[in-house]
Structure 1
Amino acid sequence: METLRDFERDLEEMREYYSHGKTKEASWRKSQLKGLLTLLKEKEGDILNALKQDLGKHQVETFRDEIGTLIKTLNLALESLRGWMSGRKAKLPQIALLTRLSLEPMIGALAAGNTVVLKPSELAPASASLLATAISTYLDNKAVKHLTPVTLELGGKCPAVLDSLSSSWDIKVAVKRIVYGKFGCCAGQACIAIDYILVEKKFTRTVVELMKSMIKEMFGENPKESHSIARIINKQHLLRLKNLLKNPHVDASTVFGGSVDEDNLFIEPTILVDPPLQAEIMTDEIFGPLLPIITLEKIEDSIQFINSKPKALAIYCFTKNKTLQRRMISETSSGSVTFNDTIIQYAADTLPFGGVGGSGFGRYHGKFSFDTFSHEKAVTRRSFLTEFWFRFPPWNNHKFQLLASTLNYDYLGLVLVILGLKSYRQGLNDI
């Protein structure tokens, strides 16, 4: 177990290495990014197995959510690095990153010329162990340290707003994307997974029946036998989720699923309708395969409901109503708003990813990662040939008139004041 003293020693070593300036060289940055890319390609099988061991994630889901997106981001960083670096004076600070499993923030930090302290979650021991050995092999170990894993998680309750839409096809597509965005995303154990759904009361029965059908289509009649849905990460978290369902009023609101297999760390995809709003399942982030549906008299009430909760990392809104879309953007606050789909914002390197308020701070992805982990320094140069003499003391009315004309962008007035043809202010006492 690393102690605070060990951590401080490692951090001091990294500061010393950083002070030599090597990390500022484009060649060093590119070599680290290439090393990380090689790691992902050569250790793909190990990564797939580690996440299978930690979470029971299917290989396709792991490649989609972890390896594939990282490779895409690394290729973007390698192709764009010269452009990101050119023409900018940047102060490149020492950065200590606290991450879960994703290496994506590390890509931006390395591209920006930083040294990195990488701390995966201790809740995923197989993945953390793999990173511990692989990082030092493929990257410059003087710049990248792997220390005792800790957890830092900012997320929140991400709502999905489901309008009645205009056709049965639209509704089926929406429900399919919602089921995927909840149960097909690490069984709900993702910071951007849907936490609850808001629908109009009259539409509830239709939504529930479609969700039941879609869950069976994706995960079979007995999801516990499916390899396409992840398991709960450990016993502690499984018991936490199980306790959310123990409230008798919450249990009474369950309309589908709810079975728990502690030995296999499995919880069946579960749908609830109108659990008590004061119950833990509606006050705490769920982070698992439990999906409450909250009914409203009209879908426009969803904005007030969302605003009554802490700011979310993501809002998903399924509607063709342009007015509702505009209101969702302007009248709510969240890390992102996605219309008519789920999760896809995370895969877009052209969009910043991050939270707001209690759901997080800062942002990364693509060029945004580079900007986050670098500092754009303002540099000003002046010639000695010209001087704005009226900016210096001693002060008098004439200098005041010149300054007032300049700062009011009254350039004609400035010329007239210089020529003595205009007084910018009348009756001003001498200073």
Structure 2
Amino acid sequence: MPAAAGAFHVDTTSIPDTLARLRQTFDSGKTRPVEWRIAQLTEIERMMREHEADLAEALRADLGKCRFEAILTEMSFVEEEAKYARRNLAEWIRPQRVRTPLMAQPGRSYIQPEPKGVVLIIAPWNYPLSMVMAPLVGAVAAGNCAVMKPSEITTHTSAAIASILPRYLDRDAFAVVEGGVPETTELLAHRFDHILYTGNERVATIVMTAAAKHLTPVTLELGGKSPCLIDKSADLEVAASRIAWGKFINAGQTCVAPDHVLVHREVAQRFIEALSQRIKDFYGEDPSQSPDFCRIASERHAARFAELLKGQKIHLGGRVDVEKRYVDPTIVLDPAPDSALMREEIFGPVLPVITVDEMHHAIKFVADRPKPLALYLFTKSKALEEAVLERLSAGSVCINDAVIFMVSPELPFGGVGTSGMGRYTGWYGFETFSHMKPVMRRSFRFDAPLRYPPYSDKKAKLLKFVR
């Protein structure tokens, strides 16, 4: 049953009392039974179904997101994540037997997952619903209490979460804190048992610094410039469709969207033409009139693109309307490597296309830069695929498609290096919010004297047989 209606919103002054209430709930053991966890996961599924229209409207108001895209990337994504966790939870919480060495026999060894406690989830504005709720699924499955901090930039979605969630989840175990920097600063002054932050590298350092004061473990889902390599053997028509979809969904405001393309010179022109046509097929001759093309989250973010595009060679698009938070789906040809467009994560509907003479030049281009959150390769060459996988490091790799790997709950999602640390979704979300507690149970029978002093040469010789 849903929790009784009541205030779920928490202001700055009530944060200490809220955290004390959640800590008391966790210490009571209420969140540990599998039945409680399954009930909460079921309610998350129900919330996504029953408030699909309300949530879609909030996402439309914040990001201009069409209903289909809202369902695909937000509500359905969360519902499937919760369903997957609910169906697999009994297996996940089962103790995992491991080998017991001879010296510890007779005995039994296993790993027992246990919840960490009270966790904090700080979400971004680009997927303002799913980036709150998908990590929450992992926290709930693991048996934790949680505080959620939605983004203050997407105000309609933040308000919807704070309003709707208490009708479904246990109010003694969960809380939503709306607001901006003051609220986040106050939260980070308190001790949590785990913090998951999704956002940019600058704020991540602030989160890590605050967490370090309490020795709190963190998961950081950041970003970076995710490259897309296109070999001359690739099916260019299919590649163009998949890259256009992965890049321009959510108006490019996706942390794993292709940031730039490195394409073999022999097929560059054909690819650019195919990509241009796909953009027109998807969004029409004037994408500003398309009901399927999103808007930028704020005027400040939209204005940034006007600066990024100055002096660039624009093949398609290029319009920026700051007041309407609109940026054209844009193709930029061969920008200078030291330009802001190639230094900063783009995080919008602007796609630089860079030609390379050989694919090993593309590999070196990527290897010389920080490790990305995602890496895309389009090729029919097994040798090139193996070379890329061997040479390049990335949070995730997808061969012959873009972004679609995010739909698999069997694959962990996370970064490496400056693109993030830790991982979640599916089992990996459960693992992130769990302490995997090692347990060894010994018998009182057969207490071998070998380990006890006094030691002798004879014992030393015997030791090598029992290690």
TM-score (norm 2): 0.82
Q: Which residue of 301, 305, 330 maps to 2:365?
A: 305
The equivalent residue for 1:234 is 298
The equivalent residue for 1:291 is 351
1:402 aligns with 2:462: yes
Q: Which residue of 227, 241, 252 maps to 1:159?
A: 227
Letter aligned with residue 438 of structure 2: A
Contact 2:62-2:157 at 8 Å conserved across structures? yes
Letter aligned with residue 116 of structure 2: P
Offset of 1:45 from its aligned partner?
0.1
- Deviation larger for 2-11 or 298-307: 2-11
1:111 aligns with 2:145: no
Offset of 1:9 from its aligned partner?
3.1
Offset of 1:4 from its aligned partner?
5.9
The equivalent residue for 1:17 is 25
Q: Which residue of 141, 157, 165 maps to 1:135?
A: 165
- Considering Cα pairs closer than 8 Å and 6+ residues apart, tell me whether 1 or 2 has the greater RCO: 2
Letter aligned with residue 400 of structure 1: A
Offset of 1:297 from its aligned partner?
1.4
Task: Give me the CA root mean square deviation.
Answer: 1.6
**Deviation readout 1:210-253 (Å, 9 max, x if unpaired):** 1111111111011111111101111010011211112x2xx2x2
The equivalent residue for 2:48 is 40
**Deviation readout 1:251-304 (Å, 9 max, x if unpaired):** 2x2221101122321111111111111111111111101100122110122221
- Give, in whole Å, the separation in 1 of the partners of 2:327 and 2:394: 29
Offset of 1:139 from its aligned partner?
0.6
SS at match of 1:22: coil
The equivalent residue for 1:90 is 113
1:174 aligns with 2:239: yes
**Deviation readout 1:311-336 (Å, 9 max, x if unpaired):** 11111110111111112212111111
Which runs of structure 2 are paired with 1:6-405 in the superposition (5 Å)?
6-87=14-95, 89-94=112-117, 95-100=119-124, 101=128, 102=130, 103-150=133-180, 152-153=198-199, 154-165=222-233, 170-183=235-248, 185-246=249-310, 248=311, 251=312, 253-405=313-465
SS at match of 2:293: coil
Letter aligned with residue 165 of structure 1: S
Offset of 1:195 from its aligned partner?
0.4
Offset of 1:69 from its aligned partner?
1.7
**Deviation readout 1:64-92 (Å, 9 max, x if unpaired):** 11111211121112222222222352231
Contact 2:95-2:113 at 8 Å conserved across structures? no
SS at match of 2:442: coil
* Percentage identity across paired residues of the two chains: 36
Q: 1:329/1:70 Cα in 2 relative to 1: closer, same or farther (>3 Å)?
A: same
- Give, in whole Å, the separation in 2 of the partners of 1:72 and 1:20: 30
Letter aligned with residue 41 of structure 1: R
Query: What are structure 2's unaligned runs of at least 5 residues?
Result: 1-8, 97-111, 181-196, 200-221
- Give, in whole Å, the separation in 2 of the partners of 1:200 and 1:42: 48
The equivalent residue for 1:415 is none
- Give, in whole Å, the separation in 2 of the partners of 1:373 and 1:328: 32
Offset of 1:388 from its aligned partner?
2.7
- Give, in whole Å, the separation in 2 of the partners of 1:18 and 1:385: 38
- Give, in whole Å, the separation in 1 of the partners of 2:138 and 2:41: 9
Q: 1:86/1:181 Cα in 2 relative to 1: closer, same or farther (>3 Å)?
A: same
